[in-house]
Chain A
């Protein structure tokens, strides 16, 4: 068991005033006041890598600054456990996975160990994703409010895995999903909270052109040739091979280059294999750049996004797709698959273009590359859409409202 310690919060809550306005921050403070005295304990599986850790790294210090006693702890597990949870992850996304009864036993065994060893200490226990879901067994002993936060797309899950997890989920006070079609028939309250990005993070802040140019130089990219970029973990669900195929279709009529950039996460043992396949597919093609960006390479990711002419997210399944949010915030025209939470962010022809196939992706990219005014209009809408709905301040507000709502059953709460 580890506990997160934040010595240097990266941004102060006040720093968001120029972006979202003073009144929005005043409202956050007013909500936080109502949670005075309550301890919120976040529990997930890792401090680094992946969207959940990224969100918690920023959310927890900001909640603390607002006066909410939010804490963050992680469960521990060996490689076998994370191999199993990765299978669960894929299965919940609807992928066929060979999951044996031994796998379930490994999951239960590690969960039991965590239940015994983990130090619980919250009025509200906020469990993130399936890895720690079985900790709910502790509820009877500890009491308090328990929330399960599902960050992944469970709209079409493998039934065997979902039924296994469902037994745990229904013991919670509430479940939280990122999109409406992820919700399930459950006897508990279900809330919808979209994830968010931090506009002040290295990954999303504005960069001077010198930095962007230096990153392009570092990776041997031609700054005068339009860049099509997909920024994602190397994962089958992100369809990197499909992206290469779409690029090759575009490349026939428009001179451009492709960047596939991403990293790996500690709880994703499959990444290396995918990366290898992608490299093989791209070998010998000088306009395709496969970039393995380390976890600390946020500025580089940011620079690549800002340098791109079009950003692709051709996921087969997607929880929410924070890389899409990042691209939209940078005012970039986005072409993305109509899956999962992407549909909440990309309103077709208003804030981006949706696609359903390799051909659709290629066609949309060509439209944007050949009509710069249209691309700029879409990009402008995209940024405003994110400002309104997908920044971390909105996420903070939703979490505060969620915690408050647990104590009130009605639809209209007067505080």
Chain B
């Protein structure tokens, strides 16, 4: 060994000096470079600077040593084959170190940035980080194989095909992500907007994610529309979120059953006598029953007193006067009853009792027993209100327009009260209050009110 050193010390000294020089330069360069970077990052206030410096500071010294070793081998007297082998070994160590370092750096930076993204990400964080790790490792392995002259083309080809297949398989997902990016950063659609899709779905945008847009429909369902589909379809965007009511409007419905009183009149005197004593619900029934029973007829038949007086008693003059009583003028059943009685009394005083009804054709007094129920429909603004209005039953409309107005002594329909008190929509409230509901079918009323509100929020 000593003999070998005596013979070859001159060929050893040059690589050793080169190697030691690299160490000295490395110590100096690391200090200077990292001091400079520290200063630079302090100025830039980059959040990832600490991670970058911590991860690369120790590694930088290792890379200098590896470079020194490689240079020393190049200036050494090793055989060409020996240099190649040593170069590949050092190259391998360098690639492994470099890969490891960049991998650590990428993972730490990803952690740092993914934490800050508030919008739900289409993939779990672990999946993204693993994908990055795999990418770095694959690239590192490919470089190592290249260093050791192993053919990489088939591997690269296989990986490329695999990647293409994966991209094709998840193209919808990728399209969704791109579309989501486009939507999230665009100004046209925002959370809270009311939209209507070409396919008919409509509602408020409740969320925009990387994958889909969530639409809350007026009946409280959530529809998920993939972003890619959303950007391809025709979307009608209405206004910014409408003004919220100070108090939500809850739609009720009212169903009624007919209760027979057992009372019947066979002439006008009996009719007027019984009318004076029956409960309000009887008067209400006989002046409103036609609205529901003859929905399909325009105009609907008049109140049942007028019909009976015409068909059975045959007093057409009195029947006309009774038909002409405008229920809309009265805000209480009591006032309406008084008017009906006055008209019949007037007829009695001028023309007497007239005919007596045949058996079986008497006027039977019926009362309406109402059962009032809540519905699932609630409106917080005009848009929700109009959408609910489309869906509620005619019984619900009946309750809010007729029943509340007259029988419950409200004077005005419920809709107008809410529009004025909770939304400060005085003009709209007045327009609806001015509609004489007795001149329309309930379905006509529904259409007219919807139209009025649509015009207001257009």
Q: Tell which of A177-185, A201-209, A259-267, A281-289 binds the partner.
A: A177-185
Complex CA distance for A388 and B292, rounded to whole angstroms = 8
Shortest beta-carbon distance from A295 to chain B in Å = 32
Q: For window 147-174 of chain B, which residues contact chain A by CB distance below 8 Å?
A: none
Shortest beta-carbon distance from B359 to chain A in Å = 7
Most buried by A among B255, B371, B373: B371
In the assembled complex, B456 has its CB within 8 A of some CB on chain A? no
In the assembled complex, A389 has its CB within 8 A of some CB on chain B? yes
User: B364 near A181 (CB under 8 angstroms)?
Assistant: yes
Q: Which residues of B contact A31 (CB under 8 A)?
A: 255, 371, 373
User: B360 near A181 (CB under 8 angstroms)?
Assistant: yes
CB closest chain-A residue, reference B285:
A411
User: A398 near B393 (CB under 8 angstroms)?
Assistant: no
CB closest chain-A residue, reference B307:
A347
Q: How many residues of A contact B (CB 8 A)?
A: 43
CB closest chain-A residue, reference B295:
A388
In the assembled complex, A100 has its CB within 8 A of some CB on chain B? no
User: A404 near B296 (CB under 8 angstroms)?
Assistant: no
Q: For window 55-72 of chain B, which residues contact chain A by CB distance below 8 Å?
A: none
Q: Which residues of B contact A384 (CB under 8 A)?
A: 295-296
User: B370 near A389 (CB under 8 angstroms)?
Assistant: no
Q: For window 388-415 of chain B, which residues contact chain A by CB distance below 8 Å?
A: 391-396, 407-408
Shortest beta-carbon distance from A230 to chain B in Å = 22
Complex CA distance for A347 and B20, rounded to whole angstroms = 116
Q: Which residues of A contact B359 (CB under 8 A)?
A: 156
Q: Tell which of A1-9, A41-49, A190-198 binds the partner.
A: A190-198
In the assembled complex, A222 has its CB within 8 A of some CB on chain B? no
CB closest chain-B residue, reference A380:
B296
Complex CA distance for A185 and B255, rounded to whole angstroms = 26
Q: Which residues of B contact A350 (CB under 8 A)?
A: 297
In the assembled complex, B362 has its CB within 8 A of some CB on chain A? yes
**Per-position contact with B for A378-413: 1 when CB-CB < 8 Å, else 0?**
000100110111000000011001101100000111
User: B255 near A191 (CB under 8 angstroms)?
Assistant: no
Most buried by B among A177, A350, A401, A415: A401
Q: For window 324-376 of chain B, which residues contact chain A by CB distance below 8 Å?
A: 359-360, 362, 364, 366-376
Complex CA distance for A350 and B368, rounded to whole angstroms = 25
Q: A191-B257, A384-B296, A412-B407 are in contact. List 11 more A-B contacts (CB 8 A).
A: A23-B253, A23-B392, A27-B393, A156-B360, A183-B262, A190-B261, A350-B297, A381-B297, A385-B293, A388-B293, A405-B371
19 A-B residue pairs with CB within 8 Å: A22-B391, A23-B392, A27-B253, A31-B373, A34-B373, A180-B260, A181-B362, A185-B262, A192-B258, A193-B258, A339-B360, A384-B295, A384-B296, A405-B257, A405-B369, A411-B259, A413-B369, A413-B370, A413-B372
A residues sitting closer than 8 Å to B (CB atoms) are 21-24, 26-27, 30-31, 34, 155-156, 177, 180-181, 183-186, 189-193, 339, 347, 350, 381, 384-385, 387-389, 397-398, 401-402, 404-405, 411-415
Across the A-B interface, give the 10 residue pairs with the lowest CB-CB distance, nearest first: A23-B393, A180-B364, A384-B296, A183-B260, A401-B257, A190-B260, A411-B281, A192-B258, A413-B371, A414-B372
